[in-house]
Structure 1
């Protein structure tokens, strides 16, 4: 029993449970928004929904495990990653790699059972996160965050594509929101964990360019979010008004960074507000679509 509990605890850190949930939820919301938009029967897509949740969950978990395997050396240097099994030694690197690749393969296969488009979006997310982000850019350039954001931005497309092709203004607008949103969100994390990233030598924007540049970029990306709703032309006025107010409120928090005396406290506020913002966005889409 103790071994089982310890194994489950290791999996919690290996799969970064909150990151896992945060990546699967937009997939689910993408499906629900498409389901409501087209007014299709839920029972007709019940099996596909189960495959979607299970497949995307396994694919994300596999990607996160592969990330752990690839970053075992730098994880040893950071406080935030000290409990990962690749650091504590409770799992061998070979075991972690095996888990990562196995889950990735099975998850990708389950998505393929739904349709080819869903599987393609899943593959794009996995490849950009594991290969382009983790291997090629995270240790070399500050724009690694853009790559990581691209990986997360495909999640609502996966959910929508279960019902209809995602080359549609609504899922594409969600893609843009997810991409732009992840920049300030990730910058907030990088500021909060500045010492860890600096110690590990990872090229995060606050570490390389400083706080002021990061605050400036944060405000720019939040400001760009204000224009995304303009791409949609068939929502009610209430949708545009409420989403605009949500965007402006978050922008005010971003701009606050220019005059703050405690950057890390501001980063905490930015991080929490980023979660509230994203939940608000998906709620508005689901209500008004």
Structure 2
């Protein structure tokens, strides 16, 4: 019979392994709590808005680095606060839905009281940092936060299918925040970019709702496909994507290349949406729509930045 010899080295290694597991688990919990991929996706339009404000006002990038840092960190913290509030408030729904059952608010690895404290702290800190830019940027950030936390999460999500329209406002303010940190966001460029995000978010969210139909139904969340069916949802996705078609033509100030890229992207998106009206495998089609929508916004904003890069 073999036996294991316990030494101080064995104990130390076991302790180190446990510490690493705890650290890894905490990192995963925080990533889930703050919805890091969502934060990154929202930071890109903020940066694009800031960058384009520099471009159209011919301001120096180097001399505004401090303002850029305040804008990005401040707006990201405000958005993070809204997302954490959402996790805190939706814990009952998250317990039912498979895709959210591992969130620390559900597992109890982070207490709800702590989560609420984090949400308040990061929101206040974010607004404070933004206050060192402009009042307009703070107002847009607060509108996004209030819309997502109060009007979407607490009021409409469980009551009305229009919750998707209301929630879309929170994402649409991101390029306005970036631009307003330097200049008033009354320019056509940030306004149209905000409209693109607003319209895009509808088919994007509907694709998620179709993919997770059973979960939303079980949680009694008033998503359009759950309340009115898949066919109506598909038709609305086509309509919303068609509404994206004219928007790039208001952005000729970004150059012909941008308009062509955005238009080709819109046409491809629309063709895929139309195919859903005739598909027999709605789930597979919704997966494709989701993947396209996830990349759509990134391509639009990266293109807007790329076509305005200095040629030297």
Are residues 236 and 138 of structure 1, via their aligned partners in 2, closer, same or farther at CA, if it must alter by over 3 Å? same
Could you list the per-position Cα deviations for residues 230-257 of structure 1 after superposition, in whole angstroms to 9, with x for gaps in the alignment? 3345343333333222111110011111
Q: CA deviation at 1:3?
A: 3.6
Q: CA deviation at 1:276?
A: 2.5
Work out the CA distance in 1 between the residues paired with 2:180 and 2:63. 15
Q: Does 1:27 align with 2:46?
A: yes
Work out the CA distance in 1 between the residues paired with 2:257 and 2:40. 29
1:79 aligns with one of 98, 101, 112: 98
Q: TM-score, normalised by structure 2?
A: 0.89
Which residue pairs with 1:51 in the alignment?
70
Q: CA deviation at 1:229?
A: 2.4
Q: CA deviation at 1:260?
A: 0.7
Q: Tell me if structure 2 keeps the 8 A contact 1:61–1:103.
A: yes
Which residue pairs with 1:224 in the alignment?
243
Q: Does 1:181 align with 2:196?
A: no
Q: Tell me if structure 2 keeps the 8 A contact 1:36–1:286.
A: no
Work out the CA distance in 2 between the residues paired with 1:234 and 1:15. 36
Work out the CA distance in 2 between the residues paired with 1:119 and 1:64. 18
| Structure 1 residue ranges without an equivalent (≥5) | none
| Secondary structure of the structure 2 residue equivalent to 1:113 | coil
Which residue pairs with 1:155 in the alignment?
174
Q: Does 1:144 align with 2:198?
A: no
Q: Tell me if structure 2 keeps the 8 A contact 1:128–1:151.
A: yes
| Secondary structure of the structure 1 residue equivalent to 2:294 | helix
Work out the CA distance in 2 between the residues paired with 1:145 and 1:82. 22
1:95 aligns with one of 107, 110, 114: 114
| Secondary structure of the structure 2 residue equivalent to 1:259 | coil
| Secondary structure of the structure 2 residue equivalent to 1:284 | helix
Root-mean-square deviation (Å): 1.4
Work out the CA distance in 1 between the residues paired with 2:22 and 2:129. 30
1:241 aligns with one of 241, 245, 260: 260
Which residue pairs with 1:62 in the alignment?
81
1:278 aligns with one of 289, 297, 301: 297
Which residue pairs with 2:10 in the alignment?
none
Work out the CA distance in 1 between the residues paired with 2:141 and 2:263. 30
Q: Does 1:267 align with 2:286?
A: yes
Q: Structure 2 matches for 1:93-132, cutoff 5 A? A: 93-132=112-151
Q: Rg larger in 1 or in 2?
A: 2
Q: TM-score, normalised by structure 1?
A: 0.96
Q: Tell me if structure 2 keeps the 8 A contact 1:142–1:203.
A: yes
Which residue pairs with 1:214 in the alignment?
233
Q: Does 1:200 align with 2:219?
A: yes
Work out the CA distance in 2 between the residues paired with 1:185 and 1:56. 22
Work out the CA distance in 2 between the residues paired with 1:12 and 1:188. 23
Work out the CA distance in 2 between the residues paired with 1:159 and 1:17. 19
Q: CA deviation at 1:152?
A: 0.3
Once the two structures are overlaid, the 10-residue window that deviates more, 182-191 or 221-230, is 221-230
| Structure 2 residue ranges without an equivalent (≥5) | 1-18
